[in-house]
A and B are shown apart, each in its own frame.
Chain A
Amino acid sequence: MRLGMVIDLRRCIGCYGCQLSCKAEHGTPPGVFFARVLKSEEGRYPTVRHLFLPVLCNHCDDAPCVEVCPTEASHYAEHGIVDIDQDKCVGCRACMMACPYGNRYFNGERRDYYPGAGPTVYETARTLRHPEGVVMKCNFCRDRLAEGKLPACVANCASTARYFGDLDDPNSQVSTLIKERGGFTLHPEAGTGPNVYYLPP
């Protein structure tokens, strides 16, 4: 089984629901976005359209971040998920330089969401559990998957633009969508074998 995600750019409305639900699920510190939405404009006035590109870790088959990690902190977990063992990470940030998708973050030092007011109850419960001095990234919500749930960004997508499933199964919804709608990956020239696909707008 090789888990992967398909994002339908025609359905995405740029609501940031994925970004917010990811923040809520993982309690990531300020400045850390496992899932985020890039926006750009295309065309010239008056024929202009807004494009939204939701991005996250691509959980590559041949992940350069795993290759360059000196401590094996970045590793392949079950079903092709690329994850970080935060007890092994030394914070060298080589993986951040190796990732062609820029979806890794260094949690350098503690910063509260309300500077000067101390951590909120939520932050104490969620954000403060993330160790400092290490790199963080999306792990396809492994904890949720273990409970039989979908990743938070998929479950909370208001326009159901995200699909999640087994890319090795030719009959799965994700494989069918990629085949029928011409799914593509970001930066295929990097040769990393991403497992996040996009359907054209």
Chain B
Amino acid sequence: MSGQRYQQLLADLRADYRPQREWGEGRGVLLVVGHFLVGIAGGTWLLSWWFGITAGLMTAVLLGGLGGLGHLAFLGRPERAFKMVRHWRTSWISRGFVGLTLFLAGGCLHLAFELAAPGGLAALIAGLAALAGTLTIIGYMGFTYTASKGVPFWNSPLHPVLYIAYAVRGGVAMLLVLAAFGHASGAALMPLWLVVTGLVALLFALELQGAAAGSDVAARRSVHDILAGRLAAIFYGGTLAIGLGVPLALGAAGGNYPVIMALVGLTSAAGDFFMKLSTVRAGVYRPLIVPRQRHRG
């Protein structure tokens, strides 16, 4: 622990609202990267499976593998990661580990069987295993946050739905990038991106409104941090400008051009990353002593 981090920890322990820094700062960014990549991987696999895009399936497995490496690099003891299968009955992290393993193994086998003997039963079974893994990984992240009772802002029941919506938006974004290279049809993707983006924006707005209007002071502080505090630059610059404003402007300018589609996909994905980063960093621990009102005069 560097001297600066130590001083930061001591200052946090004295603060009225103690921000969580383990997930989202320092090496904790790797966890956000892992969640981001695994979410996109799940969405890409789901949509590629639906539309029958082999390049999308390959991309999904690659992103899932990178996301898994991000998760491992975040752990304090990555060499013990295999032990995470033990507590799947109650732990969403354990379920996510099992789901990602299933997704990667099933995905690789499905692609191998499809390349060797297309349309075979083995490929179908492996594909279904990967699909089961996909459904787990796009869901587990939101539930992991919701189960975090120490951070009231994440306790919203909307959080898992929001993360599933992020995954679908990430999948559409990745298919837009692939469409630019001729691996998918871009015509149907832009309207789909608009619909899913509208859903994500609505869910996020509802979550913020719910936290801001609720009675929990820590959740309200988190909303303040996102909208007008230490995370406002990431939220307004990254999430809204890069992730929403730029793709909308590009789409309006010419959404059917390959380069434009690729840019829409990349900026949309970048916006999702910033949204996840700001949401995670906004986490504030439940205070043990409710800070008193500051009196004036």
Taking Cβ atoms with an 8 Å cutoff, the residues of A that contact B are 30-31, 33, 36, 38, 40-42, 44, 51, 53, 55, 64, 67-72, 88-94, 96-102, 106, 108-111, 115, 132-135, 186-187, 190, 192
Q: Judge whether B86 is part of the interface by a CB distance below 8 angstroms.
A: yes
Q: Judge whether B286 is part of the interface by a CB distance below 8 angstroms.
A: yes
Name the B residues within 8 Å of A64 (CB-CB): 147, 149-150
CB distance from B287 to the nearest CB of A (A): 9
Name the B residues within 8 Å of A97 (CB-CB): 20, 22-23, 145, 148, 150-151, 154, 283
| B149 in contact with A108 (CB, 8 Å) | no
Name the B residues within 8 Å of A44 (CB-CB): 295
CB distance from A158 to the nearest CB of B (A): 22
Known: A69-B91, A91-B77, A96-B22. A53 touches B148 (CB 8 A): no
Secondary structure class of chain A's binding surface, majority of residues = loop
Which parts of B118-175 form the interface with A (CB within 8 Å)? 144-145, 147-151, 154
Q: Judge whether B289 is part of the interface by a CB distance below 8 angstroms.
A: yes
Instruction: Identify B91's interface contact among A41, A68, A110, CB under 8 A.
Output: A68
CB distance from A184 to the nearest CB of B (A): 13
Bitwise, B86-127 to A at CB < 8 A (1) or not (0) is 110011111001000000000000000000000000000000
Name the B residues within 8 Å of A30 (CB-CB): 1, 6
Name the A residues within 8 Å of B283 (CB-CB): 97
Name the A residues within 8 Å of B288 (CB-CB): 38, 53, 55, 101-102, 186-187
Q: Judge whether B274 is part of the interface by a CB distance below 8 angstroms.
A: no
Taking Cβ atoms with an 8 Å cutoff, the residues of B that contact A are 1-3, 6, 9-10, 13, 18, 20, 22-23, 27, 74-78, 80-81, 83-84, 86-87, 90-94, 97, 144-145, 147-151, 154, 283, 285-286, 288-289, 292, 295
| A70 in contact with B87 (CB, 8 Å) | yes
| A41 in contact with B292 (CB, 8 Å) | yes
| B149 in contact with A90 (CB, 8 Å) | no
Task: Name the residue of chain A whose CB is nearest to the CB of B152.
Answer: A100
Name the A residues within 8 Å of B18 (CB-CB): 102
| B75 in contact with A36 (CB, 8 Å) | no
CA distance A68 to B97 in the complex (A): 13
CA distance A110 to B9 in the complex (A): 15
Known: A132-B76, A187-B288. 5 other contacts (CB 8 A): A69-B91, A71-B84, A88-B80, A102-B285, A102-B286
Known: A38-B288, A98-B149. A90 touches B83 (CB 8 A): yes
| B83 in contact with A88 (CB, 8 Å) | yes
Can you spell out 30 A-B residue pairs with CB atoms less than 8 angstroms apart? A31-B6, A51-B289, A64-B149, A67-B91, A68-B90, A68-B91, A68-B148, A69-B87, A70-B87, A71-B80, A71-B84, A71-B94, A89-B76, A90-B75, A90-B84, A91-B75, A92-B74, A93-B22, A94-B93, A97-B22, A98-B150, A99-B149, A101-B150, A102-B150, A109-B1, A111-B2, A133-B75, A187-B286, A187-B288, A192-B149
Name the A residues within 8 Å of B285 (CB-CB): 102
Known: A94-B148, A115-B3, A133-B77. A31 touches B9 (CB 8 A): yes
| A40 in contact with B292 (CB, 8 Å) | yes
CA distance A38 to B94 in the complex (A): 34
CA distance A36 to B22 in the complex (A): 20
Name the B residues within 8 Å of A109 (CB-CB): 1
The CB with the most chain B CB atoms within 10 A, among A31, A53, A115, A135, is that of A31
| A89 in contact with B93 (CB, 8 Å) | no
Name the B residues within 8 Å of A70 (CB-CB): 83-84, 86-87, 91, 93-94, 97
